[in-house]
């Protein structure tokens, strides 16, 4: 256990976040997502599971350490609701609120169609699967630069 670091950030997740470079993408997904199959295709081949943790809690902890990319228009992509691409679900709004608070600014969140999300996720750095029960609780977070 480390002081000042959320206890849900286990050693494997800490390594994943630290090993990422600017522009690398962390895939944060819900319990329904085919995480293991996707993780095998990522750059690191790593799947980290956070049992008993929802997406909001996971993002809150991760974003204490992971800066979001300020050089791109949308450093967060959410999985779109099938057939309703403009629908923003509570799980999406919750993650955005956490990101805004962590960054101290309004962070733009884009969206990506479900099947396109699967393809994009396979190009990620690694996958973190939560126990999120709300559907479409799947996101891609692009790592930014630490300036201080």
Q: Is the pTM of this model over 0.85?
A: yes
Our answer to whether residue 92 is catalytic in this structure is no
- The residue annotated as part of the active site, out of 24, 30, 54, 69, is 69
Is the pLDDT assigned to residue 97 strictly greater than 70?
yes
Our answer to whether residue 22 is catalytic in this structure is yes
Q: Is the dihedral of CA 117, 122, 127, 131 positive or negative?
A: positive
Q: What is the pLDDT of residues 127-136, one digit of tens each?
A: 999 999 999 9
Our answer to whether residue 69 is catalytic in this structure is yes
8-state DSSP, 65 = T
Query: In this structure, what token pair is assigned to residue 131?
Result: 């126990």
How confident is the model at residue 1, as a pLDDT? 66
Domains of the chain with bracketed CATH? 22-142 (3.40.1650.10)
Q: Is 67 buried (19+), middle (13-18) or exposed (0-12) by CB count in 10 A?
A: middle
């Amino acid at each position: 256990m480390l002081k000042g670091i959320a206890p849900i950030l286990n050693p494997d997740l800490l390594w994943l976040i630290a090993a990422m470079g600017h522009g690398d993408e962390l895939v944060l997904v819900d319990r329904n997502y085919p995480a293991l199959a996707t993780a095998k295709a990522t750059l690191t081949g790593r799947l980290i599971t956070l049992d008993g943790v929802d997406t909001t809690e996971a993002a809150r902890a991760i974003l204490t350490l992971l800066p979001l990319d300020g050089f791109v228009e949308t450093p967060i992509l959410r999985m779109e609701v099938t057939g309703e691409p403009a629908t923003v679900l509570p799980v999406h709004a919750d993650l955005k609120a956490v990101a805004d608070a962590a960054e101290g600014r309004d962070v733009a969140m884009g969206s990506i169609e479900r099947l396109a999300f699967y393809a994009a996720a396979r190009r990620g750095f690694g996958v973190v699967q939560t126990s999120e029960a709300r559907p479409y609780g799947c996101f891609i977070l692009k790592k930014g630069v630490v300036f201080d």
